[in-house]
């Protein structure tokens, strides 16, 4: 994951937020937190990057219900 790009930085921060909230983060809260972290980034770029989290990280991120993102639990 390259955090030299805008989307790389957003992805890295989104994964950090999910790590800090094992119960998951709602879509609207994720957007709010990322916009606070990156006030100079265009809101649609943040929105599109969050929308693609499942596509980019299918083995890491899950969406157990509409509007909720969380990290997949590790299989023991």
| 61 inside domain | yes
Report how many domains make up the chain: 1
Structure tokens at 65: 């219900």
* pLDDT single digits (tens) 2-55: 568 999 999 999 999 999 999 999 999 999 999 999 999 999 999 999 999 999
| 55 inside domain | yes
| pLDDT value of position 69 | 96
The whole domain housing 21 covers 6-71
pTM: 0.87
| 37 inside domain | yes
**Dist CA 71 CA 59 (whole Å):** 9
| 43 inside domain | yes
| pLDDT value of position 4 | 84
Q: Provide the pLDDT confidence category of residue 74 given band limits of 50, 70 and 90.
A: low
| 44 inside domain | yes
**Dist CA 69 CA 45 (whole Å):** 18
| pLDDT value of position 9 | 96
| 23 inside domain | yes
Question: What CATH number corresponds to the domain at position 42?
Answer: 1.10.10.10
């Amino acid at each position: 994951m390259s955090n030299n790009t805008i989307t790389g930085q957003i992805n890295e921060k989104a994964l950090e937020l999910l790590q800090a909230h094992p119960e998951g983060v709602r879509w609207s809260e994720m957007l709010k937190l990322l916009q606070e972290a990156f006030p100079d980034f265009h809101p649609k770029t943040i929105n599109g990057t969050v929308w693609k989290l499942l596509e980019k990280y299918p083995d890491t991120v899950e969406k157990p219900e509409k509007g909720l993102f969380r990290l997949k639990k590790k299989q023991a």
